[in-house]
């Protein structure tokens, strides 16, 4: 049985320019043509979850503008449930400005816009509605860690208090809460304790653990240490693969070897596919394997949400 999958987070209009290299401070570079696309960590992960066979419900806030309407329509067209999105007149739809170097590495600046207006009350109510409706239909029961009533995924491009509220209502309803701690910031121990898993890259893992992550062995040590603070941990290492820690097991899974075109959205593809597999009843290890494959495919295309 597939449990309800809820992805809450940001959505933005992406403006990408290809450059030979990223500019130095104070430097102006001439780049290639501008590429206009759809992005935002939350929306990217929802689309990735749908592409991986999930049926995600997206919770995000958009401006009351043409861009917002276009992004919502794009999510709908890509198999994402948009029935619980909100819109605001207080800010425009979010924007991301991206440069992609010849190496495939990106540099991103985000203007949050309407993403900063995703409220705790609206988000909590939507999560409760989705999961209790599934319970009333007999699709799921009040869940547990081994058999959750739903999967709730969040990132940190929306207000922290909204993420905290989502985690708490998910816990209250027996759902599994997954946090992609990106962009990196300090979070309270109470939120960390609900993460199952906490998904971080090397720099994010180093920041939350207070230890450097410069190798696979560093990642294994940090993941094991973080198990005392959260329920499970996934540390992504780019071309060096992924370290996954749960229970008493800490394991390294290698990356797939592919030609890198653009790393924008690769982490989001990984996380979206991971939660889709969890919602389908997969183990965390199996979900990580599915995520690795999705991330490898994502870096072979330009843009955060490749067709």
Write the CB contacts of 295 (distance below 8 Å, at least 6 apart in sequence).
236, 255, 266, 267, 269, 270, 273
Tokens 């180093």 correspond to 206
Tokens 């009533």 correspond to 149
Find out whether 296 and 263 touch, Cβ atoms under 8 Å. Answer: no
- 141-173 as b/e: b if 16+ CB within 10 A: eebeeeebbbbbbbbbbbbeebbbbbbbbbeeb
Find out whether 16 and 37 touch, Cβ atoms under 8 Å. Answer: yes
Tokens 């806030």 correspond to 61
Find out whether 245 and 233 touch, Cβ atoms under 8 Å. Answer: yes
Provide the token pair at 114. 């309407």
Which CA distances in Å does 169 have to 78, 109, 150, 165, 225? 27, 31, 11, 6, 27
Q: Which of 191, 181, 121, 131 is nearest to 156 (CA)?
A: 181
Tokens 């203007």 correspond to 111
Find out whether 280 and 53 touch, Cβ atoms under 8 Å. Answer: yes
Q: 195 in helix, strand or coil?
A: strand
The reply to whether 189 belongs to the active site is no
Which is catalytic among the residues 14, 196, 262, 268? 268
Q: Report the catalytic residues.
A: 268
């Amino acid at each position: 049985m597939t449990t309800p999958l809820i992805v809450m987070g940001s959505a933005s209009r992406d403006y990408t320019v290809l450059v030979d290299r990223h500019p130095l401070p104070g430097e102006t570079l001439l780049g290639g043509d501008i590429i206009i696309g759809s992005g935002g960590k939350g929306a990217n992960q929802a689309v990735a979850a749908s592409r991986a066979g999930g049926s995600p419900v997206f919770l995000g806030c958009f401006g009351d503008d043409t861009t917002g309407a276009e992004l919502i329509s794009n999510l709908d067209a890509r198999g994402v449930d948009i029935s619980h999105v909100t819109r605001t007149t207080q800010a425009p739809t979010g924007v991301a400005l991206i440069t992609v170097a010849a190496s495939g590495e990106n540099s991103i600046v985000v203007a949050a816009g309407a993403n900063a207006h995703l409220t705790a009350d609206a988000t909590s109510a939507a999560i409760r509605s989705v999961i209790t409706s599934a319970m009333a239909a007999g699709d799921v029961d009040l869940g547990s860690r081994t058999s959750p009533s739903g999967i709730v995924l969040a990132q940190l491009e929306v207000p922290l208090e909204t993420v905290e509220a989502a985690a708490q209502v998910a816990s209250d309803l027996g759902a599994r809460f997954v946090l992609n701690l990106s962009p990196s910031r300090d979070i309270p121990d109470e939120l960390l304790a609900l993460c199952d898993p906490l998904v971080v890259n090397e720099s994010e893992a180093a920041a939350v653990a207070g230890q450097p992550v410069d190798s696979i062995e560093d990642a294994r040590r940090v993941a094991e240490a973080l198990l005392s603070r959260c329920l499970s941990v996934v540390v992504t290492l780019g071309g060096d693969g992924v370290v996954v820690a749960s229970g008493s097991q800490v394991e390294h899974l290698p990356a797939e070897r592919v030609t890198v075109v653009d790393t924008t959205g690769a982490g989001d593809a990984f996380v979206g596919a991971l939660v889709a597999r969890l919602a389908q009843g997969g183990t965390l290890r199996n979900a990580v394997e599915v995520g690795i494959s999705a991330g490898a495919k994502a870096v072979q295309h330009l843009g955060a949400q490749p067709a």
